[in-house]
DNA sequence: TCTGGGGTCCTAGGACCC
DNA sequence: TCTGGGGTCCTAGGACCC
């Protein structure tokens, strides 16, 4: 691989959900806006820049957010809307490179290697992209440009909002050296603590550490990964294939439930949503996973199993999911119920003919229901 | 303050096979 | 009598990201 030759951009929309709400609703402009679940157990999804000085940030419990910023306007997420805008943003990015890897609704990597003659140097690329996004959506984005994904992602965060950061070529390692270890992509609270106990505080500290020593303390593969990143090396390609590995649906209940009779109908509903998601994306699942979170200790438990045949109908998913429920404690108070499909494959591919027929029987019926929903709307499901 | 919902990736242990 | 070694698959849990 021709290391050092790549140009990778990371595009990150600024306070995406909140910015969309402010764009769509003028009375929200200039005010602290918190997008998030309004329920008892809701958390902040996105806080507008007006709310952030109060200490409000993503993943914070809504109750705490409102204690910090009592005047904030809480908006219930409109995921369908955010998805629409996201598609516009991604379509805009497609005009700049054939290699676009969305990471979520609001951020993506672009491999711009070899595009300098078309768009100029990285600064010009970043400016052109930001201009195109504003023109198309009225929203701002921050962009990082560098020789690899890790550096580009780190950079896009350094001049937010509405900013550009270019990591200078050939001086990458010294550029990131003063930053705290927590800035390494993949180092969260737990790992940060472990690393701090080793006496390493900055990325430069990790980069200068002796690799053998680091291996013995953090495990070989994690140590090697961190050490490479700290030395500004990251060979991972921009992957535009878009293949998904799993598809799930889960819900945190307003009030705890217990007992099979209470859990099963909720699980059925999650299976229905997963099955519909599979059909919409033309996928079939090879297995299903059940997820419960207990109130006591916030403990998460999962059970998974393969299906007899790949399926995209809720009955197949739910039948197996209900069996898995038998291997879980249903007597303790439960706060979350979820289902997920895994071992995904393109619908119609790789199925034995006998199985294919059986697998699609329920699928066909549910597909007909999908069409009716599409034509007349589905009051029940679009309510949440 | 009391912790969402959507994902990805990694690890460790057990079953199983040769 | 006192139990190999290696490879692969599967499952459950956990860290992490937005």
Q: What is the pLDDT of residues A229-242, one digit of tens each?
A: 999 999 999 999 99
A366 given a catalytic annotation: no
* Strand B CB-contacts below 7 Å: A 37, 40-43, 45, 58-59, 61, 63-64, 67, 104, 219, 221-222, 244-252, 273, 277, 298, 335-336, 338, 340
Q: How confident is the model at residue A364 (pLDDT cuts 50, 70, 90)?
A: low
pLDDT in tens, A272-321: 999 999 999 999 999 999 999 999 999 999 999 999 999 999 999 999 99
Question: Does position A367 have pLDDT exceeding 80, yes or no?
Answer: no
A177-181, A183-187, A330-334, A346-350: which has the minimum mean pLDDT?
A346-350
Work out the mean pLDDT of chain A and round it to a whole number.
92
- How does strand A107-111 pair with strand A8-13? antiparallel
Nearest one of A203, A213, A153 to A182, comparing CA atoms: A203
Q: What is the largest CA-CA distance in chain A?
A: 65
Nearest to A144 by CA among A121, A116, A167, A176: A167
CA distances from A94 to A85, A91, A123, A179, A275 (A): 14, 5, 18, 32, 30
A212 Cβ contact partners less than 8 Å away, ≥ 6 residues apart: none
Q: For chain A, how far is it from start to end, CA to CA, in angstroms? A: 47
User: How far, rounded to the nearest angstrom, does the alpha carbon of residue A184 sit from its chain's CA centroid?
Assistant: 18
Could you tell me the two tokens for A315? 């009955």
pLDDT at A21 over 80: yes
Q: Are strands A164-166 and A246-257 parallel, antiparallel or unpaired?
A: unpaired
A131 cis-preceded (ω within 30 degrees of 0)? no
Determine the pLDDT at residue A324: 98
Q: What is the pLDDT of residue A373?
A: 59
Any idea which nucleotide's C1' is nearest the CA of A244?
B7
pLDDT at A348: 78
Separation in Å: C7 C1' and A68 CA: 56
User: How high is the pLDDT of residue A326?
Assistant: 96
pLDDT tens, A210-219?
Answer: 999 999 999 9
In this structure, are residues A151 and A166 in contact, taking their beta carbons and an 8 Å threshold? no
């Amino acid at each position: 691989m021709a290391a050092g030759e790549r140009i990778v951009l990371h595009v990150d929309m600024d306070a995406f959900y909140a910015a969309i709400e402010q764009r769509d609703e003028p009375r929200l402009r200039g005010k602290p806006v918190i997008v998030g679940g309004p329920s008892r157990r809701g958390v902040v999804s996105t806080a507008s820049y007006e709310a952030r000085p109060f200490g409000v940030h993503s993943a914070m419990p809504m109750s705490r957010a409102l204690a910090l910023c009592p005047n904030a306007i809480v908006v219930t997420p409109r995921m369908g809307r955010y998805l629409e805008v996201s598609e516009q943003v991604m379509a805009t990015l497609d005009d700049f490179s054939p290699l676009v890897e969305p990471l979520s609704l609001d951020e993506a990597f672009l491999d711009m290697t070899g595009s300098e003659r078309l768009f100029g140097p990285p600064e010009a690329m970043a400016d052109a992209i930001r201009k195109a996004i504003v023109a198309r959506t009225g929203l701002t984005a921050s962009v990082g440009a560098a020789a690899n994904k890790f550096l580009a992602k780190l950079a896009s965060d350094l001049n937010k909002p509405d900013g550009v950061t270019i990591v200078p070529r050939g001086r990458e390692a010294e550029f990131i050296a003063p930053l705290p270890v927590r800035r390494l992509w993949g180092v969260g609270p737990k790992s940060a603590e472990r690393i701090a106990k080793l006496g390493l505080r900055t990325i430069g500290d990790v980069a200068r550490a002796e690799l053998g020593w680091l291996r013995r303390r953090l495990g070989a593969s994690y140590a090697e990964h961190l050490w490479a990143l700290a030395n500004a090396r990251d060979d991972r390609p921009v992957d535009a294939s878009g293949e998904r590995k799993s598809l799930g649906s889960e819900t945190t209940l307003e009030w705890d439930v217990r007992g099979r009779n209470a859990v099963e109908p909720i699980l059925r509903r999650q299976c229905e949503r997963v099955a519909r998601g599979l059909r919409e994306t033309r996928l079939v699942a090879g297995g299903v996973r059940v997820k419960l979170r207990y109130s006591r200790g916030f403990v998460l438990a999962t059970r998974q199993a393969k299906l007899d045949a790949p399926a995209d109908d809720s009955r197949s998913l739910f039948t197996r999911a209900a069996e898995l429920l038998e291997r879980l404690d249903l007597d303790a108070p439960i706060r979350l119920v979820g289902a997920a499909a895994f071992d995904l494959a393109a619908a119609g591919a790789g199925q034995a003919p006998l199985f294919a027929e059986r697998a699609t029987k329920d699928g066909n019926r549910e597909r007909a229901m999908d069409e009716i929903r599409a034509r007349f709307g589905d009051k029940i499901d679009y309510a949440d």
